[in-house]
Amino acid sequence: MRSVITEEDFKANFQLAVLLTEAKVLIENKIFNFNVVIPGDTLPIHFKDCEFNETISFSPAIISKDVNRLEDIELYEKSEDNFFDIEEDVEIRNEIRFSDNCEFKKEINLEEVTFNAKFLIHDSKVELIKFNNTKFQSLADFWKTTFKNRVIFYKSDFNATAVFSMATFEENALFTYSLLGGKSIFSRTQFKKGVDLSQAIISGQLKFFDLKINYSDFKSRYFHKDNKGYQNAIDNQGDIPLVNKQETFRLLKHYSSINGDGISGSRFKVLEYRSFHKLIWIQSFCHGHRLVSNLANIPMMFLNRISNNYGSNFWLASIFTVGFAGLFLNGMLFNIGGFDYTWNYENWQWKRLAIILNPLHKVNELKLGDSQELYILDFISRIAVGYGIYQTVQAFRKYK
């Protein structure tokens, strides 16, 4: 059961820990109704099952020139001489941990903060969190944490291990100009809306396992030549441009392959091609942009979609092949006339269908005459069936 803690009691926890020479401060089952400001040289803190109804932020360390540690923040605030120095940069020297269903009702402000020790938010709910030039020199761990609003990891450096395992992002998550320099782990991470990795600087390792992304809920925008709008979207608004969406799926495909996960790589390949198909369609027919260069790409992407879903579905490829063979057979029968169409499959032209499914068959095997129209339909059917067979083989090889 949580109870309300006052600002004075909060400070008293640190003073008591100093007197008892304890290694860290543990605060659990408390409700904070005031702004929590954590100084840079604070003792290691562990907040457990706490509720924060106001902002959490970090401040520069206040250093006593004589003893070289913070003794009393209030003494600094009242001091009129030069007994204390205040550091210019916000550097957190010791571990900060939030766990066991902590709830952040307002905001966590991590802007311009450098964490030289571990920073962990475990199994908690975050309403709003701000990153801007944030640096993590040690472990940054957001295991099983739910982020309720859009998160922009803006110019943030993850120089060590970054853990996003089992985290849930209910809105967009963007790694805009972020450095992923260590090992970044996304295990069973859920992005309910979208994720943008296209602008991230990836010099370390990316590890994915059972990543949850729903393409139908992944909304994106097309900015055409609006560079200002594009920049504002990824810097401030948290919107994901369509071209970034495509690049994100390409990166996920690439790093899945590097990790030897061909199954996930195949899935992200499909999503990459679907995004590219949508991109060139909007470019050409909504904005008249690159219409000529996309005239070849649009039909090709359409055929790939309906024939085997970009190399992922051999059943679709088989249906495509048999369907087109049957379509052209019906065209030939209609051309010569004298055949009655029926829903009784026992009376269907199975033998002739089997002949057409062989692209190397001879025209006279069909026994449908030798009219000019027959030869044209037969020629086109060979192309369609040959293409369908090729797409079927490609779909079978998706896990090669």
Determine the average pLDDT of the residues in 76-97.
Answer: 66
**Domain that includes residue 345, residue range:** 314-396
If asked whether residues 327 and 383 sit together in one domain, one would say yes
Determine the average pLDDT of the residues in 85-94.
Answer: 74
- Per-residue model confidence (pLDDT) at position 345: 61
> Is the per-residue pLDDT at 84 higher than 50?
no
Among 263, 295, 327, residue at a domain's last position: 295
Between 80 and 13, name the one with better pLDDT. 13
If asked whether residues 10 and 128 sit together in one domain, one would say yes
- Structural domain count, the chain: 3
If asked whether residues 257 and 326 sit together in one domain, one would say no
**Residue 336: count of CB within 10 angstroms of its CB:** 12
Among 149, 179, 199, residue at a domain's last position: 149
Banded pLDDT at 97 (limits 50, 70, 90): very high
pLDDT 10s digits, 21-73? 556 888 999 999 999 998 888 889 999 999 999 999 998 865 544 433 444 44
| Cα–Cα distance, 24 to 96 (Å, whole number) | 10
Cα atoms in the Cβ-side hemisphere of radius 13 Å centred on 79: 15
Determine the average pLDDT of the residues in 161-169.
Answer: 97
Banded pLDDT at 298 (limits 50, 70, 90): confident
If asked whether residues 175 and 287 sit together in one domain, one would say yes
Between 148 and 283, name the one with better pLDDT. 148
180 close to 153: Cβ distance less than 8 angstroms: no
> Is the per-residue pLDDT at 87 higher than 80?
no
> Is the per-residue pLDDT at 242 higher than 70?
yes
Contacts of 203 by beta carbon, 8 Å cutoff, 6+ apart = 179, 180, 181
If asked whether residues 273 and 186 sit together in one domain, one would say yes
Nearest 5°: CA angle at 255, between 254 and 258? Answer: 95
For 242-269, b/e burial (b = at least 16 CB within 10 A) is bbbbbbbbbbbbbbbeeeebeebbbbbb
If asked whether residues 157 and 269 sit together in one domain, one would say yes
Contacts of 230 by beta carbon, 8 Å cutoff, 6+ apart = 223, 241
305 falls within a domain:
no
Determine the average pLDDT of the residues in 355-375.
Answer: 86
302 falls within a domain:
no
Distance of CA 18 to the CA centre of its chain: 43
67 close to 85: Cβ distance less than 8 angstroms: no
| Cα–Cα distance, 42 to 27 (Å, whole number) | 14
| Of 25, 33, 36, residue with least CA distance to 5 | 33
If asked whether residues 78 and 121 sit together in one domain, one would say yes
193 falls within a domain:
yes
If asked whether residues 179 and 289 sit together in one domain, one would say yes
205 falls within a domain:
yes
132 falls within a domain:
yes
If asked whether residues 164 and 249 sit together in one domain, one would say yes
- Per-residue model confidence (pLDDT) at position 335: 77
For 363-395, b/e burial (b = at least 16 CB within 10 A) is eeebebeeeeebeebbeebbebbebbbebbebb
Highest mean pLDDT among 5-19, 189-203, 299-313, 349-363: 189-203
105 falls within a domain:
yes
If asked whether residues 319 and 232 sit together in one domain, one would say no
- Per-residue model confidence (pLDDT) at position 342: 65
pLDDT 10s digits, 258-288? 988 888 888 999 999 999 999 988 888 766 6
259 falls within a domain:
yes
Contacts of 170 by beta carbon, 8 Å cutoff, 6+ apart = 146, 147, 148, 149, 192, 193
278 falls within a domain:
yes
Q: Six-digit token pair at 320?
A: 């495509």
Among 112, 134, 149, residue at a domain's last position: 149
Q: What percent of the chain has pLDDT over 90?
A: 58
If asked whether residues 339 and 373 sit together in one domain, one would say yes
If asked whether residues 183 and 249 sit together in one domain, one would say yes
- Per-residue model confidence (pLDDT) at position 373: 86
- Per-residue model confidence (pLDDT) at position 159: 96
